[in-house]
C-alpha cells in the first residue's frame, strides 16, 4: 500500500514538473527564433510547426509529449547554428 501511495505521489509531482518545463522551452525557442533564426527556410518551418504542436500538447495537458516535441525543435535550432 505504501509503494502504491509513493508511486501516485511521485506521478503527481512529476506531472507538475513537466507542466512548468513546457513554457520555459517555448520561451527559449521564441528567443532563439528572434535572435538567430535558421537560414534554411525548411528548418525554420519545421521548428515553427514543432513549437506550435508542443504548445497545443501543453494546452491539452499532455506535458510529457509536449516536452519531447519542444525538445526536437530545440535540437533543430541548435543544430542550425
Number of folded domains that form the chain: 1
Q: Provide the pLDDT for residue 2.
A: 66
Neighbour-count burial of 73, counting CB atoms closer than 10 A to its CB (0-12 exposed, 13-18 middle, 19+ buried): buried
Calpha distance 51→72 (Å, rounded): 9
R_g (Cα) of the chain, nearest Å: 15
pLDDT at position 20 is 74
Whether residue 13 has pLDDT greater than 70: no
- Grade residue 81 by pLDDT with cuts at 50, 70 and 90: confident
pLDDT tens-place string over residues 14-73: 545 445 788 999 999 999 999 999 999 999 999 999 999 999 999 998 888 999 999 999
pTM (2 decimals)? 0.76
Angle made by CA atoms 34, 35, 36, in degrees to the nearest 5: 100
- Categorise residue 37: left if φ over 0, alpha if ψ from -120 to 50, beta otherwise: beta
Domain hosting residue 24, numbered range: 2-79
Amino acid at each position: 500500500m505504501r509503494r502504491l501511495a509513493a508511486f501516485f505521489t511521485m506521478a503527481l509531482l512529476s506531472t507538475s514538473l513537466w507542466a512548468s518545463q513546457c513554457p520555459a522551452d517555448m520561451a527559449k525557442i521564441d528567443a532563439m527564433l528572434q535572435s538567430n533564426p535558421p537560414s534554411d527556410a525548411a528548418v525554420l518551418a519545421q521548428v515553427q510547426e514543432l513549437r506550435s504542436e508542443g504548445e497545443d500538447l501543453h494546452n491539452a495537458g499532455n506535458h510529457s509529449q509536449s516536452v519531447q516535441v519542444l525538445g526536437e525543435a530545440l535540437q533543430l535550432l541548435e543544430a542550425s547554428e
